[in-house]
Structure 1
Amino acid sequence: MQDNVQMTKKPRRYFTDEQKAEAVNIVKQSGKPVSQVAREMGLTESALRKWVKQSQINEHPRLEGELTSAEHQELVRLRRELKHVKQERDFLKKAAAFFARESADFTS
């Protein structure tokens, strides 16, 4: 027999960069474990661990394979720009093919 327990999903919370930095500073300055600070601040432990790790990467960007926040933002911007340029290129290819057909039809 199944219990009629409804699993309600908590709404996703969003935090500003300042809020994240404040939480990370509390972890660094207090010397308390991440799990304890997360509980005290009402955060998930995994989110706070991620913020602390990203802070460490930003402070010491030479860790192999890890991107700083600035590098990540630039990567996102460059990917968006590349997508736009590819769309423009594809449009120009189609336009060139269209006008080549029109020109061939006109000369015939």
Structure 2
Amino acid sequence: MSKHHMPYAAAFRQQMVDLVHAGRTPEDLAKEFEPSAQTIYHWVAQADRDAGTRHDGLTTAEREELTRLRRKVKQLELEREILSKAAAWFARETGSLPDKGSNS
């Protein structure tokens, strides 16, 4: 079972990426430093996406926006559900149910 690490500092990740771009292999860096070679490969791939040299995934900015939008959608769905329940409650309390044909 792998142990969970705190995220590495952005400056450290950038140094690893720079060393790979300078010719060092992720395997050599993994022996010298703590992160695995696979982790370093992922950092290099993400840095390349962010720089526009790879197009096989989302950039960091796109990933952050997607996360933000998913949170927003979840919040809006929750608010809509609450409002729907509140409208049904008020309709029952006042005795005025909306027509079945309405979409409100």
Q: TM-score range by the shorter chain?
A: 0.7 to 0.9
Tell me, yes or no, if the aligned pair for 2:50 and 2:59 is still in contact at 8 Å. yes
- SS of the residue corresponding to residue 72 of structure 2 reads helix
Say how many residue pairs are matched: 96
Q: Distance in 2 between matches of 1:99 and 1:61?
A: 56
Tell whether 2:32 aligns with 1:19: no
SS class of match (1:81)? helix
The amino acid that maps onto 2:11 is: E
**Pair 1:90 & 2:56 matched:** no
Unpaired runs of 5+ residues, structure 2, are 97-104
Cα distance in 2 for residues equivalent to 1:9 and 1:62 = 29
1:85 maps to a residue whose letter is L
- The share of aligned pairs that are identical, in percent, is 33
Q: TM-score, normalised by structure 1?
A: 0.79
Which has the larger helix fraction? Answer: 1
Deviation of the 1:13 alpha carbon: 3.6
Structure 1: which 5+ residue stretches go unaligned?
1-7
RMSD between aligned alpha carbons?
1.9
